[in-house]
Amino acid sequence: MSESSMLFTVRLPVVAPLSRLEAERRLALTNSAEDCVRLLAGFLRPHTEYLACFVVRDDVAVGRFGVGQGPSAERVAATKVRLERASQEGMASAIAQALGRPVGARPLLLPVRVAGELALYMYADRSLAPFDREELAGLGAFAASVGTKLARLAIRAELDNETDAGDEDSPYTPTPITTAKPRRATPLPSVVVDVHGEYRTLVETLCSGRDSDGSAETALMRTGYDALPALFEVFPGPLVAGVNSELLELPRASECGPLLRVLARQRRVALLATLAEAGSAIREHQFWATHLLAELPYLESIPELIQRLHGSDLPLRRAAIRALGAVGTMNTAATVEALRPHLLPGVPGRQRRLVVEALAAMRAKPIVPILLELLRDDDARVVRSAGRGLVDATGRSFGADLPAWESWWASHRGRSRIEWLMEAVASNESQARKRLVLVELVALSGIDWDTEGPIDGPALASLQARLRTWWKEQSSSIELRG
């Protein structure tokens, strides 16, 4: 039997495997529950020999559709398994047995939770190799994203009756999931709505300024993925006085408002939803999500941030450059490789200059050879941007003087950037340049120093001695850690 003849309720084209980032992009654009489930099945399908979806109704998992070489659509629809197993593995084995899957199949069961409530199970198996840890993490994370999206749809009263709790005593008649039929707005089971209502109350408390003891913020942090729909309903939330999206220089996003602070603290949990907002058609959402990505410095954000460099919105471009710099600070080598194709001669000059600025914002040793090469560029503005980047990275002010930079690099390439900066303080650089370098060194070392104080005579000598002691201890620690 062909795969297409066994599809039940969800029609999946045979296409190349979706990357996680592309799947998340498509999920952000979906507007119905059936589309979310279809996308999840399409994302899982390349990893499986057989795939089946089960809707959880009270304490029963009810079969909805199957994809692949396995049970017929009718058998899947007639399959019900009670949720009485002690573990996910036990439930997976029970579903495999109910479907008559081969003994050698290695089953996997992915739960999809909507606002904390179990809504779906995606059953998958294959006989050739077990699912490895990294693969499981990626599949499970996307299933969690689908649950978050379903919760957001439910909030807007657009989740159709495919996920409603049914009457267990009445005969079960499977209803096709199809976008061709008009949908009626129906709520989730009341317990789910109540849970989401609690999240909204916490968000309202957080944003109203009444969370003086931090209890609402702590509760939202502990909730993790399930709180994201309520947080993003009011994104970016209230901002502190004097802050707006038209400024070219801003404090960190976590210092700009309470909701942004919670999302920054969520780290990777908030990443994919933030990426979706960065691609929003609403300019305020786009800007604050882009600014927030500087505190979620993961490689997955690079394609979205590069897109933000293309527009004419100057504050947004500056926010994207800062975020790319933050990603590169945490993942320098990988970020450099991702940006390198955007520096090739065929790329428009304006875009190349902005990418150079993003490289310069990393202030890391690996960018120096690239910036040195760009000093030979035909575009004078690219050359100037590269020269400024070298000054920020090294603390030395040779501008666009290629021979001076090459001479310096030949004698310093084997030393650390911290040593470069400490040497710059002792050089004949200007007072303004030395102060900028010292501010960075003090921030890195944690040494207490009045950044407005004198930078010559005994005061400077004392600070340099403290910095040398700190670096000696730091470098020894690095050597011991390998």
Question: Averaged over 138-157, what is the pLDDT?
Answer: 80
Mean pLDDT, all residues of the chain = 79
- Which whole-number Å values give the CA distances from 33 to 150, 152, 179, 197, 230, in the listed order? 6, 10, 10, 20, 18
pLDDT band at 286 (very low <50, low <70, confident <90, very high): very high
Q: Look at residue 432 and tell me whether its pLDDT is greater than 80.
A: yes
The pLDDT value recorded for residue 258 is 94
Q: Look at residue 242 and tell me whether its pLDDT is greater than 70.
A: yes
Q: Look at residue 454 and tell me whether its pLDDT is greater than 80.
A: no
CB 328 within 8 A of CB 305: no
The pLDDT value recorded for residue 7 is 32
pLDDT band at 5 (very low <50, low <70, confident <90, very high): very low
Task: Evaluate the CA torsion angle 129, 134, 140, 146 in order and state its sign.
Answer: negative
Cis bond before residue 236 (omega within 30° of 0): yes
Q: Look at residue 421 and tell me whether its pLDDT is greater than 70.
A: yes
Question: Averaged over 371-379, what is the pLDDT?
Answer: 88
Q: Look at residue 3 and tell me whether its pLDDT is greater than 60.
A: no
For residues 99 and 80, give the distance between their C-alpha atoms in angstroms, rounded to a whole number.
10
pLDDT tens-digit series, residues 150-186? 887 776 543 334 334 333 333 333 333 333 333 333 3
Q: State the DSSP string of 65-77.
A: EEEESSS-HHHHH
The pLDDT value recorded for residue 123 is 93
The residues near 35 (Cβ < 8 Å, ≥ 6 apart) are 179
The pLDDT value recorded for residue 332 is 83
pLDDT tens-digit series, residues 115-131? 778 889 999 988 777 78
The pLDDT value recorded for residue 361 is 84
Question: Averaged over 209-227, what is the pLDDT?
Answer: 84
Q: Look at residue 476 and tell me whether its pLDDT is greater than 70.
A: no
pLDDT tens-digit series, residues 326-363? 998 888 888 888 888 888 877 887 888 888 888 888 88
- 362 φ/ψ angles, rounded to the nearest 5 degrees: -70, -30
- 66 φ/ψ angles, rounded to the nearest 5 degrees: -135, 150
Q: Which residue has the higher pLDDT, 416 or 58?
A: 416
For residues 173 and 395, give the distance between their C-alpha atoms in angstroms, rounded to a whole number.
72
The pLDDT value recorded for residue 288 is 95
Q: Look at residue 60 and tell me whether its pLDDT is greater than 70.
A: yes
CB 290 within 8 A of CB 308: yes
